């Protein structure tokens, strides 16, 4: 299959509307999209990524007016969260509209809905003939793509088109909040923080591991994620390490002596933005061990910790 690379949201949407799979930029990570009205294209997403079919896809809308096409029966706090955080890096899990095919939601009666704020994503989604189901545009299990070059590396020849945009501004996948229960349940952390959610709905709570193990509320969380080929070693505050040969460092502290590549970040925002592309750079350069600063468990630090701990297999 030939993969067309284009800068034009219009051309990419035409290819999408013809029933094909198209990768597109968003502010979180690059997405791999198919119109939900083209079930064959939706199936092709799972094949191209090697994604287990019981892992549901997030549906992307161009604006809040489209939410009614994919979800029904929104409660009061869901409306508040949507009003405050859409468009942006928040996915809300809602009761699904029966029009949404089961292949999108992996048979669940709920659907994850997001409205990206990236202007190129917006132009693309606005021209799509219906809402767009899209997981992250990477081979399952490895770090998400935050620039079009890594999408090309993973998926060239397997998908019809890549809409080329800027590198993702945030670099971490969206925050996911289950809005179908009595209170909002934080299923996955991201750039919309627990603290920000609680400012709008104080009852918001993080899903505990026990809950996830009994009923996987967010099926994708049970799979290994974000792991580069190199081993990940987490450095807790105040800890010092002796660098192994062919090793690398990312974080806000002074890098250990003797490492081959370092990414020094000035802020948590920069750390989040650079994390996945650094993992991929390290793999391309044959790095064996990546030392990563483990940030404190609050604000954006909670999302970075989550990705690091999963990548480290903790």
Give contact residues for ligand AMP (rule: CB under 6 A).
Answer: 55-56, 58, 93, 105, 108, 110-112, 135-136, 173, 176, 187, 217-221
The distance of closest approach from Cβ of residue 135 to ligand AMP in the complex, given in angstroms and rounded to an integer, is 4
Distance (Å, whole) CA 243 – CA 275:
19
Residue nearest to ligand AMP (CB): 220
Give burial (CB, 10 Å; 0-12/13-18/19+) of 313: exposed
Give me the numbers of helices (H) and strands (E) for the chain, helices first please: 11, 16
Q: Which does 108 bind (CB under 5 to 8 A by kind): ligand AMP, Mg ion, none?
A: ligand AMP
The distance of closest approach from Cβ of residue 56 to ligand AMP in the complex, given in angstroms and rounded to an integer, is 4
Q: Which does 119 bind (CB under 5 to 8 A by kind): Mg ion, ligand AMP, none?
A: none
174 binds Mg ion (CB under 5 A): no
Q: Which does 227 bind (CB under 5 to 8 A by kind): ligand AMP, Mg ion, none?
A: none
- The answer to whether 148 touches 181, Cβ cutoff 8 Å, is no
**Nearer Cβ to Mg ion, position 31 or 87?**
31
User: If you ran DSSP here, which 8-state letter would residue 278 be given?
Assistant: H
Q: 20, 28, 136, 204: which one contacts Mg ion (CB under 5 A)?
A: 136
The distance of closest approach from Cβ of residue 244 to ligand AMP in the complex, given in angstroms and rounded to an integer, is 31
Q: Where are the alpha helices (DSSP H) in 223-299?
A: 268-284
Radius of gyration, alpha carbons of the chain: 19
218 binds Mg ion (CB under 5 A): no
Distance (Å, whole) CA 39 – CA 130:
12
28 binds Mg ion (CB under 5 A): no
In 81-193, beta strands by DSSP E: 90-96, 110-114, 132-133, 161-163, 175-178, 185-188
**Nearer Cβ to ligand AMP, position 220 or 301?**
220
The distance of closest approach from Cβ of residue 220 to ligand AMP in the complex, given in angstroms and rounded to an integer, is 2
Distance (Å, whole) CA 218 – CA 86:
21
**Nearer Cβ to ligand AMP, position 93 or 192?**
93
Interaction site with Mg ion (CB under 5 A): 136
């Amino acid at each position: 299959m030939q993969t067309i690379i284009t800068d034009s949201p219009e051309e990419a949407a035409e290819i999408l509307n013809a029933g094909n799979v198209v990768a597109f930029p968003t502010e979180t990570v690059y997405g791999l999209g198919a119109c939900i009205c083209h079930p064959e294209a939706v199936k092709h997403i799972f094949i191209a990524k090697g994604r287990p079919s019981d892992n549901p896809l997030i549906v992307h809308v161009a604006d809040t007016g489209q939410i009614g096409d994919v979800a029904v029966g929104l409660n009061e706090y869901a409306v508040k969260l949507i009003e405050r955080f859409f468009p942006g890096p928040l996915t809300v899990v809602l009761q699904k509209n029966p029009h949404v095919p089961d292949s999108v939601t992996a048979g669940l009666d709920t659907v994850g809905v997001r409205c990206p704020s990236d202007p190129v994503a917006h132009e693309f989604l606005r021209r799509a003939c219906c809402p767009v189901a899209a997981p992250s545009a990477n081979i399952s299990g490895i770090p998400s793509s935050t620039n079009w070059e890594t999408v090309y590396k993973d998926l060239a020849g397997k998908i019809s088109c890549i809409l080329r945009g800027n590198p993702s501004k945030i670099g971490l996948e969206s925050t996911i909040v289950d809005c179908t229960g009595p209170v909002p349940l934080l299923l996955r952390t991201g750039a919309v923080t627990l603290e920000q959610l609680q400012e709008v709905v104080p009852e918001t709570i993080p899903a505990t591991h026990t809950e996830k193990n009994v009923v996987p509320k967010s099926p994708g969380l049970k799979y290994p994620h974000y792991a580069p080929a190199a081993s990940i070693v987490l450095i807790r505050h105040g800890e010092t390490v002796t660098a192994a040969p062919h090793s690398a460092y990312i974080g806000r502290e002074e890098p250990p002596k003797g490492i081959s590549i370092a990414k020094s970040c000035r802020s948590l925002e920069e750390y989040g933005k650079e994390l996945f592309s650094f993992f991929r750079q390290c793999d391309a350069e044959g790095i064996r061990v990546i030392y990563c600063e483990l940030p404190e468990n609050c604000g954006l630090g909670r999302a970075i910790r989550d990705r690091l701990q999963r990548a480290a297999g903790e």
